[in-house]
């Protein structure tokens, strides 16, 4: 199963990806997580990407496409994968189509989690992420069992540097101008599917599993 989670920053893509991993036993490919790992490792690519991320702007397509090309070639992607936060521009979507067609595979579904802008700021400012595995929690809407500790791996929960009210505005703008055009692209491809992302985490998961069944 080759899936893509689509939606605004904070729509719940990372949260729902964890449930898809468990159910289908396929890896999550989060370009945001890969970029943050590169920053932690202080690689040249990470240091360059950091400037864009801290400003709430998209990292250049060439960097992102290179990351995905390498990642899809890894053996754990053989039985499928969950794209999370990629593609975010038309150029990335076109590059993905070409990559996948070269691999003789295709996308089964693009799952859009629809959440209006008004709810996004609260989601992002209350987000806490695991410093080890990247899992997402929310202080109010999706709290971890133990405060500041990841339910999945016990890692420390932290606030992402770009998760502040100012940066959210630029990230939402980038989403509407650069990413939203992909709705049309994937609708025409016949794989686009929309879910109400404002429901509780468990309800969204149930709707998603129903839609995939
Ligand atoms: P969120 O879902 O909250 O937007 P992500 O972890 O997906 O967070 O992304 C964090 C940042 O990483 C983005 O704001 C952007 O700067 C960069 N980024 C991640 N994925 C991409 C991508 N596919 N194209 C361009 N930039 C990306
Ligand atoms: P994305 O990967 O799309 O940027 P996340 O999965 O990190 O989004 O979710 C953003 C924030 O919203 C996190 O704090 C998460 O715990 C919370 N969240 C996720 N899904 C829901 C939901 N259905 N209702 C309320 N809060 C949610
Ligand atoms: Zn963790």
Q: Would you place residue 112 in the very low, low, confident or very high pLDDT band (cuts 50, 70, 90)?
A: very high
Longest dimension (CA), the chain: 46
Residues lining ligand 2, Cβ inside 6 A: 7, 9-15, 123, 126-127, 136-138, 141-142, 199-201, 204
Q: Would you place residue 97 in the very low, low, confident or very high pLDDT band (cuts 50, 70, 90)?
A: very high
Residue from 15, 5, 191, 182 nearest 90 by CA = 182
Closest ligand, as measured to the CA of 33 = 1
Return the percentage of the chain with pLDDT > 70, whole number.
100
Model confidence over 151-207: pLDDT tens digits? 999 999 999 999 999 999 999 999 999 999 999 999 999 999 999 999 999 999 999
Task: Say if strands 81-84 and 28-30 run parallel, antiparallel, or are unpaired.
Answer: parallel
Active-site residues: which are they? 13, 88, 127, 160, 171
Ligand 2 center to 101 CA (angstroms): 32
Q: What is the pLDDT of residue 61?
A: 98
Tell me what the pLDDT averaged over the chain comes to: 97
- The alpha-helical segments, DSSP class H, found in the chain are 13-24, 31-40, 44-54, 61-72, 90-102, 117-125, 165-174, 182-189, 201-212
Model confidence over 64-89: pLDDT tens digits? 999 999 999 999 999 999 999 999 99
Structural domains of the chain, ranges and CATH numbers in brackets: 2-26+79-116+166-212 (3.40.50.300)
Ligand 3 being an ion, which residues bring their Cβ within 5 A of it? 130, 132-133, 135, 150, 152-153, 155
Q: What is the pLDDT of residue 160?
A: 94
What single-letter DSSP state applies at residue 86?
A: -
Ligand 1 center to 200 CA (angstroms): 23
Q: Would you place residue 212 in the very low, low, confident or very high pLDDT band (cuts 50, 70, 90)?
A: very high
Residues with Cβ within 8 Å of 106's Cβ and at least 6 positions away in sequence, in order, are: 2, 100
H helix or E strand, kind and range, residue 194 = strand 192-196
Contact 110, 4 (CB under 8 A): yes
28 annotated binding-site participant: no
Model confidence over 127-149: pLDDT tens digits? 999 999 889 999 999 999 999 99
Q: What is the pLDDT of residue 49?
A: 98
Q: Would you place residue 14 in the very low, low, confident or very high pLDDT band (cuts 50, 70, 90)?
A: very high
Express the helix, strand and coil content of the chain in percent, nearest 5 each: 50, 15, 35
Q: What is the pLDDT of residue 100?
A: 98
What value does the mean pLDDT take over residues 82-108?
A: 98
What value does the mean pLDDT take over residues 89-99?
A: 98
Query: Counting atoms of ligand 1 from 1, which one is nearest the CA of 84?
Result: 7
Q: Would you place residue 9 in the very low, low, confident or very high pLDDT band (cuts 50, 70, 90)?
A: very high
| Residue nearest ligand 1's atom 10 by CA | 32
């Amino acid at each position: 199963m080759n899936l893509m989670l689509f939606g605004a920053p904070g729509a719940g893509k990372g949260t729902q990806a964890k449930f898809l991993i468990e159910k289908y036993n396929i890896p999550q490919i989060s370009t945001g997580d890969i970029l943050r790992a590169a920053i932690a490792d202080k690689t040249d690519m990470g240091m360059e990407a950091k400037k864009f991320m801290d400003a709430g702007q998209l990292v250049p397509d060439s960097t992102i496409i290179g990351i995905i090309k390498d990642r899809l070639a890894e053996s754990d992607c053989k039985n499928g994968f969950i794209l999370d936060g990629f593609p975010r521009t038309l150029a990335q979507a076109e590059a993905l189509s070409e990559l996948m067609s070269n691999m003789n595979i295709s996308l089964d579904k693009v799952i859009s989690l629809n959440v209006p802008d008004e709810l996004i700021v609260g989601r992002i400012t209350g987000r806490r992420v695991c410093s080890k595995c990247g899992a997402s929690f929310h202080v109010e809407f999706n709290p971890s069992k133990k405060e500041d500790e990841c339910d999945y791996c016990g890692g420390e929960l932290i606030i992402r540097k770009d998760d502040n009210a100012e940066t959210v505005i630029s990230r939402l703008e980038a989403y509407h101008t650069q990413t939203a055009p992909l709705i049309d692209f994937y609708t025409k491809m016949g794989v686009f599917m929309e879910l109400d992302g404002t429901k509780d985490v468990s309800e969204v998961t149930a709707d998603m599993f129903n839609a995939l069944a």
